[in-house]
Structure 1
């Protein structure tokens, strides 16, 4: 079939000696060494008036080739070392309907990149895996007929450009760096399909565009969210949403929790938000209000102070009992000492030992009072022995001091 010509992997550096069938419709020149920087090479393509599909992937182009006045409708320039998505002026008024610039190093898409294609019939644009981290808000504005946009596997974190794509019906943002659903998705216009799988979306709550879709009765929209990093404790609203309105999420049955650990790997559709124990989960940033922070600090200080007071009191209690630990209670009958004051008041006063001679003259030597034996210490004088109170050594009765004559 001369309408389909495959010239892949020929190692061609130019097309000087190459003649293509004049009625070729689909031509593939993939995996060669073509640059199309020579007019003669470009002329070989421009002279193929029936050509509508051209694929020159895996060639070291560097820039988009300047083909003039062609009927090409499908152009694939994948993996061709492109660093810019800017189309040269030769494409003004082109008939292009599908363009693929994937697997390049474009990095950013600027406002002027597609200006030449203004008013074109371009409906599908693929710029996947091209290290894109920035897209000007008005970059796609000239593409008024664009219906499908694929920006998979780039480094995008936002999608402000969507608001200027009035005819867009499908957008693919899989494999980027989104951490939440952009607010630009709230007013989808004609968009029917969003694919944002394999991103880093952790929380979907009432502030998300999904809530707006519900309120505005957008029942013909589907979003695909598989392989995101959902924190199920901060996405309780979303879990209720997909269980109640599963028609909005095309892959609802595939969504799983990433955090917290006690829910990791569990299907969102199998969870019951009213029975989930999320008390042990670390609150998200919105939880840390000023009032809560102050409350936590004051509470922590109070707990520390109470702990210090308890430690001090326990220490004092232990020290008091340690000091008393060497003492034992005195055993015996204490009744005999219960009236000690009256007993002492009836006793004779002990003489003051200032002069033994005076003591002997003031004491009745012939006293007939009986004296109990005592081991108490005594004092020897010239006239006799002075006996002290027997209670000093624990005698059973309290004795009076008397002067016992010495027998010489």
Structure 2
């Protein structure tokens, strides 16, 4: 007869099966938790708020961007660090899993932005580069930012970067850009050679060194009536070169802060609102006529002088003879006076006369 399995045997096998099953579940759970912990951990030197999907990094010692952001982050703030160069494809190591919407890199002493620096951030909508010292901006600096709506470059552009920023903004990449801030960069004119490749609705040029906006730039702004241009805190020179801007301010509604614009020069109009200037204050025609009048007067006086000199030259013999006659007449007259003086002074001639 075969061996009969007792109840204890069945019970022991079932207990072992349960123990193995629990062990496998524990191992699986542990692995998952470990993997999630690694994926969700906050980078060193940063603070993470999953509720707002925000990671903030300040005072990074290495000066480089962290490489282990949580996958849920959509708002990244890296501020107050020493990141001198944004190298090409600096965000590419994150791959497509990093779906940033807002990126702030303000006050990081960034000096160079290489071409393709933001590749990999295809969903980015807001970019803040304010408070840096940009010396070099590649013409491909903003490549890959097809969804960018807002770009802030306040207090960032040096004189070298001003000449480059126009090319970087008008390559055709930023066709969805709606808001561009360029305040506090000592700009002397609008740094955009075209507006056709942008979809701008707000252009902030406040607190710069703009003295006038030329007719060409005014015409360009007039063609894009959806743009709102802010121009306060600029030292406008209220002479006849400001005529086109003054006409644009009076006949368009594209400058919301027009009432804040003030004259800086000339001294007689300093502090005067641009809106209260009269057409004759900026009349280039009268100024040109006045300049032409002075030139014409100078020419007439020069011609008179030349004619006078020619008359003197042609009559030089007669003038010489006339001068000699005057000299002889004066000499004869002086001799008569001299003779009379000698008679009056001799006492013997006086007695004889008596």
TM-score tier (shorter):
0.5 to 0.7
Change (3 A) 1:188 1:113: closer
Change beyond 3 A, Cα 1:54–1:228: same
- What does 1:11-30 correspond to in 2, within 5 Å? none
Task: Check conservation: 1:62, 1:82, Cα contact below 8 A.
Answer: yes
| CA RMSD of superposed structures (Å) | 4.2
Q: How does 1:39-188 map to 2 (within 5 A)?
A: 42=43, 52-86=53-87, 87-93=90-96, 94-117=98-121, 119=122, 121-154=123-156, 155=158, 156-158=161-163, 159-163=166-170, 164-187=173-196
The higher-RCO structure (CA 8 Å, 6+ apart) is: 2
Distance 1:251 1:188 in 2: 25
Could you tell me which of 164, 182, 195 is aligned with 2:204? 195
Alpha-carbon distance change, 270 to 304 in structure 1, aligned in 2, over 3 angstroms: same
The answer as to whether partners of 1:197 and 1:226 remain within 8 angstroms in 2 is yes
Of 211, 222, 226, the match for 2:219? 211
Q: Which residue of 2 aligns with 1:229?
A: 235
Instruction: Find the counterpart in structure 2 of residue 267 from structure 1.
Output: 273
Secondary structure of residue in 1 paired with 2:187: coil
- Give a deviation string over 1:303-351, Cα, whole Å, max 9, x none: 9976x969x99xx9xx99x9687847999xxxxxxxxxxxxxxxxxxxx
Aligned residues: 272
Q: Secondary structure at the residue paired with 2:79?
A: coil
For 2:46 and 2:106, locate their aligned partners in 1 and report how far apart those are by CA, in whole Å: 22
Unaligned runs of 5+ in 2: 1-32, 34-40, 314-318, 338-354
Quote the Cα distance in structure 2 between the aligned partners of 1:220 and 1:238.
17
Cα displacement string for residues 249-300 of structure 1 (whole angstroms, at most 9, x for unaligned residues): 1211111122233322221101012344779989xxxx9xxxx9xx89x959
The yes-or-no answer on 1:243 pairing with 2:250 is: yes
User: Deviations for 1:12-70, whole angstroms, at most 9, x for unmatched residues?
Assistant: xxxxxxxxxx9xxxxxxxxxxxxxxxxx9737979986671122234434111112452
> d(CA) in 2 for partners of 1:249 and 1:61?
44
Q: 2:246 and 2:281 mapped to 1: Cα distance?
A: 12
- How much has 1:182 moved relative to structure 2? 3.1
> In the aligned structure 1, how far is the partner of 2:305 from the partner of 2:62?
73
How far off its partner does 1:243 sit? 1.0
What is the distance in 2 between the residues matched to 1:277 and 1:301? 28
Whole-angstrom CA distance in 2 between matches of 1:183 and 1:301? 48
